[in-house]
Structure 1
Amino acid sequence: MKLRYIITLIVLTTFVLGSCVDDLDVVPIDPDEQTSATLYDDPAAYKQVLAKIYGGLALTGQQGPAGQGDIAGIDEGFSSYLRMYWYHQELTTDEAVIGWNDQTIRDFHDQDWGASDIFIRGMYSRIYYQITLINEFLRETTDGKLNDRGVSQTLKAEIQTFRAEARLLRALSYWHALDLYGNVPFITENDEVGAFLPQQTNRNDLFNYIESELLAVENELAEPRQNEYARADKAAAWMLLAKLYLNAEVYTGQAKYTECVTYCNKVIGAGYALHNDFQGVFLADNHNSSEIIFPIAFDGENTQSWGGITFIIHAAVGGNMSPADFGIDGGWGGIRTTSAFVNKFADPSGNTDSRAMFFTDGQSLEIADISLFTDGYAITKFKNLTAAGVQGSNATFPDTDFPLFRLADAYLMYAEAVIRGGSGGDAATALGYINALRERAYGNTDGNINAGELNLDFILDERSRELYWEGHRRTDLIRFGQFSESTYVWPWKGGVAEGRSTSSNFNLFPIPSADIAANPNLTQNTGY
């Protein structure tokens, strides 16, 4: 029997927080559907709903790969949380362009989007869909509710861990809202269920809330590497705190680099290790990697979506590339990179720095026509092949997990925070971490740098070389003051081949115009 939870209601196109939530006490006539009135009578349901929350980062609806989508008004494949996040973090930068004419997609690289952009609305809706799910789960798992249902003490203890994980995932989505949209609507499990118009918070208050939530659940989470695979643990919370603190000056005007160092140290000391081969972190068996701290998990047979890793791998294959070399049944010929990113590598052949994963046969370095896949080097980083070269379980839907947090990023954050004046670390250790990444990339010490070369400009470029296409670049460029305006210009930034300066208001995305129109409590971001 297909189980469909009414608490996971479809988000309307004109998304208004709370107003799309129906009466949860109404038991439906359809025996294949359950509400919270009956769902939680089954002890197994608590973990099933938690799985739905985790699945919201990878999946798009109530069945895969499409059908009964969570969000109306947008193609279901487009509406994937990871795919939308990747669009916002990568297509707006020097690391990726896309050749398709899908609605307003090219506005991302042009940096000329507006408040009615369907993809911006899709990301915003996906974020708040997650938050809505989590709020409802937290309402239904209070001590009072559990006692009323006669839940055993053993299960109650397990549910406490579930709640901590859910709160961490809500903090993750609120961090994305903070980073992408700034001053956003705010709602928690303490708000009433039903139609109401939430108040708008500000970046400083939302930063403090995210920080307080992560600190509150830290000790309730499983120890690092002791939870089930792809479930969050203490190290995931530490990574999110480190990333929050690294960007604190952007969000609040107050630097928190010492706090960033503190939590990087916690992650680094938690028993993770760099994967011996860089490529191996991005293959179909990367669930075995000791480097990945928190993945968005995909499975070709059981986690099927036209977004997420399916998009990242298929859309990167075209031209003279052989789909079989990537473990897939066909390429979509969409995404590749700019010469500005290629030029971050002294030798883009990959013969020295193995992170330079470019396909160049039939591809031009410069992009004369964005619509042509062969304009711009292709990227070969993610594959649906195991380390042994075996195709994943499904040639259409890859098994490859997306490494949302991994140890290499902790090394890079530590080094940057130390350079920016954070206490609790030292330059020699920072240099050692950077050279560990470069020794893996080069296979020897030929790429090692000395203390005099370790500066902020180097860190920004090294983050790009190490973390490209992993959803970090926009946030990094903003932190370094190089995303908008003229400090750093790359091909097709601003919609012209040579690139141009853009307005600083594009450092934030607009709150979707539909939400502004529906909720008089909201004020639009400057410039939109």
Structure 2
Amino acid sequence: MKTINKISIFALAAALTLSTSGCSGFLDEDLKKDLAPDNTYTSTYGFEVGATGLYAWARAEFSTWDNDGAFTHSQACPYEALQVATDIVVAAHKDGSLLPFENLSYTTSQAYVESYWKWAYGLISSANELLEYSEHDDVKWDADTDKIFYQATARFFRAYAYRYLVYLYGDVTYVDKVETSFKIDFTRTPKTEVLQHMIDDLTFAAEYLPANPDNVEVGKLTKWAALHLLSEVYLMADKNQEAANTAKEVINSNYFQLMSSRFGKAIEEPGDVFSDMFKENNQNRTSGNKETIWVMQLEYNTTGGGTLYEDWTKRAWVPKYWNIDGFTLADSLGGRGLAQIVPIKWWVNGDNFYDATDIRNSEYNIKRNWYCNDPSSDKYGQKAEITDETWEIGNLCPTITKFFYGKTDENASYEGNNKDRMKFRLAETYLLLAEASINLGDTQTAADAINVVRERSGASKINAGQATIDFLLDERIRELVGEELRRFTLVRTGKLLERTKKYNTVSGPKMDEHHALWPIPQSIIDSNTGAEYPQNPGYSK
């Protein structure tokens, strides 16, 4: 049972963004009366309701369709749009909402160009509203520390939302208060200023969020989640020493450890410790997983969990094996995948990309052997061969098993992937330390950090001379593929163009430097009639 209550998430999130929506008819009268900010933000309980709305809005970052959630992109592939046109995957499903992002033909009015903007500013407006009401003198707080705790939560989520905006659009408007009047003269704030605001927010959050992860409810933030994200933001701001120091603070906190022995619900089943982390119900600290720093609660059909359409990552990675004669849908094969993306061969089948002893390359973590599973077929038990054709169209190819989860016992064609999602885990903190150290020229510290991660997987150690940005980016694939937003990582390291051209034969030939940013949504430019709002270079209407 989750402990973060859902509390009518759609209504809540809508209510908390009312004052900045500019749409007086957005909510019905009962909702305005019952959940309006003036009525909600009067007590500690009201701020807990508001904070629940922030969590709900944040976990809708990849939401595909409206299913009583806080936000929806209303398209099938928002997550995949941040993975294609990089060095790891190409589109197999040929979904019409995804292809423009793979072939780099997206426009200033394209679906995700607009919806990620709206998602991020919706979260920001809700955070700003909570912050503003927290300063009212008539709030009845249960404890003296409540006010600053909820402010820390709101400031974390505000920085979290700006992370998306800065990566995707560059210079964006920084808003830190509720706009009570209609405003049409926004300007773009330089990226460096926005990053500094994010640093300030996360520094504040780290100071006032709880320190002991064993004393918070499942899925709630701690100071270590704020510091992990702060380390990444320092890297974005080219403050590498600060990034290294912050990553070390998380690593040395003694609250977290890389999992090195089997644990959780599948401990008696075939597998290894890496695959254990991705088994259903093994993501949270309560399962014995001491590696996770922040887990987004997405488990379906559970109070405080996700909705049916909030995370389709399984459908993205799992092949359409069920489309091949001799197969039937099975939870053990990942459920009903759609192969919206398939891995590029250079890494998943590349010679020497994984050490022979690296468990991240085991059959438990990358499925390469597919056996017909339909008992009614005369092919039952036979191995199905992966060919160039089956790979290209997504019917059969090697796939990571991180997102295997089908719920076929309830519904064989179950749409979602809703198991809890590890957003931050300690292995990535080590790799953030390595990145900062490489940037500082301290390749020995970088190698040491990378080796901690490799040692857990059974891979051989590297020396300081091997600790380069390209090796680190390869290591992030081995460790974090599917978890990280690859576009963000490559943009931050300045490697998007180089590595996409090198490894991606679909997007690479079409990519140039301006594709490091998406365009500003045209609707924003058109409605901002009181001031110029320049478009990003390389884009027009």
Give the structure-2-normalised TM-score.
Answer: 0.79
2:440 is paired with a residue of what secondary structure?
Answer: coil
Conservation of the 8 A alpha-carbon contact between 1:89 and 1:473: yes
Equivalent residue number for residue 523 of structure 1: 534
1:298-319 deviations in Å (ceiling 9; x for gaps): 122122334444x111332233
Equivalent residue number for residue 273 of structure 1: 257
Given candidates 211, 234, 254, the residue that maps to 1:245 is 234
Equivalent residue number for residue 299 of structure 2: 299
Conservation of the 8 A alpha-carbon contact between 1:328 and 1:398: no
Matched, 1:353 2:372: no
1:237-256 deviations in Å (ceiling 9; x for gaps): 111111012222xxxxxx32
1:305-362 deviations in Å (ceiling 9; x for gaps): 34444x11133223337753448653334332111332556266x9632223433345
2:422 is paired with a residue of what secondary structure?
Answer: strand
Matched, 1:431 2:447: yes
Total equivalences in the alignment: 486
1:78-131 deviations in Å (ceiling 9; x for gaps): 4xxxx73x3343123122233334333112222332211112211111111111
Equivalent residue number for residue 121 of structure 1: 114
Output the CA distance in 2 between the equivalents of 1:382 and 1:169.
25
2:430 is paired with a residue of what secondary structure?
Answer: helix
Compute the displacement of 1:230 (Å).
1.6
Compute the displacement of 1:463 (Å).
1.5
RMSD of aligned alpha carbons? 3.6
1:44 is paired with a residue of what secondary structure?
Answer: helix
Matched, 1:90 2:80: no
Conservation of the 8 A alpha-carbon contact between 2:199 and 2:230: yes
Gap change, CA 1:262 and 1:88, over 3 Å in 2:
farther
Equivalent residue number for residue 195 of structure 1: 182
Conservation of the 8 A alpha-carbon contact between 2:86 and 2:504: no
Counterparts of 1:323-362 in structure 2 under 5 Å?
Answer: 323-326=329-332, 329-343=335-349, 346=352, 352-356=357-361, 357-360=365-368, 361=370, 362=384
Output the CA distance in 2 between the equivalents of 1:431 and 1:318.
35
- One-letter amino acid of the structure 2 residue matched with residue 400 of structure 1: K
Compute the displacement of 1:233 (Å).
1.5
Output the CA distance in 2 between the equivalents of 1:160 and 1:363.
58
Output the CA distance in 1 between the equivalents of 2:23 and 2:99.
34
1:153-206 deviations in Å (ceiling 9; x for gaps): x345223212101111111111211111111122122x4324213332111111
- One-letter amino acid of the structure 1 residue matched with residue 197 of structure 2: Y
Output the CA distance in 1 between the equivalents of 2:32 and 2:449.
57
1:188 is paired with a residue of what secondary structure?
Answer: coil
Identity %: 24
Given candidates 176, 180, 197, the residue that maps to 2:164 is 176
Matched, 1:466 2:471: no
Conservation of the 8 A alpha-carbon contact between 2:9 and 2:53: no
Equivalent residue number for residue 212 of structure 1: 200
Output the CA distance in 2 between the equivalents of 1:480 and 1:204.
16
Gap change, CA 1:492 and 1:216, over 3 Å in 2:
same
1:301 is paired with a residue of what secondary structure?
Answer: coil
Give the structure-1-normalised TM-score.
Answer: 0.81
- One-letter amino acid of the structure 1 residue matched with residue 45 of structure 2: A
Conservation of the 8 A alpha-carbon contact between 1:131 and 1:170: yes
Matched, 1:476 2:489: yes
- One-letter amino acid of the structure 1 residue matched with residue 463 of structure 2: N
Gap change, CA 1:67 and 1:453, over 3 Å in 2:
closer
Given candidates 274, 280, 287, the residue that maps to 1:284 is 280
Matched, 1:506 2:512: no
Output the CA distance in 2 between the equivalents of 1:333 and 1:493.
16
Matched, 1:403 2:422: yes
Matched, 1:264 2:247: yes
Output the CA distance in 2 between the equivalents of 1:297 and 1:68.
16
Gap change, CA 1:240 and 1:102, over 3 Å in 2:
same
Unaligned runs of 5+ residues in structure 2 are 1-6, 261-272, 323-327, 371-383
Equivalent residue number for residue 381 of structure 1: 402
- One-letter amino acid of the structure 2 residue matched with residue 409 of structure 1: E
